[in-house]
Amino acid sequence: MIRIDGLEEALARLGRLDPDAAARAGLRAAAEALAADVRARLATKPGGPHEAPWLRRGALRGSVAVTETDTGAVLASTSPVAVFQELGTTRTPPRPFLAPAAAAAPVAQAVAAAIATHASSEAPA
């Protein structure tokens, strides 16, 4: 017979874990981290590199928000100019800020870390 110290406590903690709450917390944390990265990409002063929109008054940066849904989270901009900056127009080249941030984001790692943090704080020792 093999004895594993702490097994009963570990099983009890797992039994108290709410996987849905942990998943929501993980998605929320990942979405907020991604939103912070998007906002950081909107900090280039006029006259600087123009791969992303220039920061003039901060309205576009301030319009970036995360909204939770029943199945996850949505990161979007409420600014009417966001789509023109992201995709370009017939006169203006695209200056994407959402897609590059999403492509560079280590979302899976952020979700996993947030779930682990939530799980350890939710289940009392």
Give the model confidence (pLDDT) of 49-90 as tens digits.
878 788 888 999 999 999 988 777 888 999 999 999 889 999
Q: What is the pLDDT of residue 2?
A: 78
As given in the structure block, the two tokens for residue 2 are: 């093999």
Q: Is 98 a member of any domain? A: yes
Residue 39's pLDDT is: 92
Is residue 22 assigned to a domain? Answer: yes
What mean pLDDT, rounded, does the chain reach? 81
φ and ψ of 74, to 5 deg: -120, 130
Residue 3 counted as domain residue: no
Q: Provide CB contacts within 8 A for 117, sequence distance 6+.
A: 25, 29
Domain housing 65? 8-122
Cβ–Cβ < 8 Å for 93, 82: no
Instruction: Give a yes or no: residue 37 inside a domain.
Output: yes
Q: Specify the number of domains making up the chain.
A: 1
What value does the mean pLDDT take over residues 88-106?
Answer: 85
- Within-domain flag for 62: yes
Mean pLDDT of the region 100-115: 71
58 against 119, higher pLDDT:
58
- With respect to residue 2, please indicate whether it lies within any of the assigned structural domains: no
Q: Is residue 94 part of a domain?
A: yes
Q: Is there a domain that residue 68 lies in?
A: yes
Please tell me the predicted confidence (pLDDT) of residue 74: 85
DSSP 44: B
Q: Report pLDDT for 110.
A: 67
**Cβ–Cβ under 8 Å, residues 107 and 97:** no
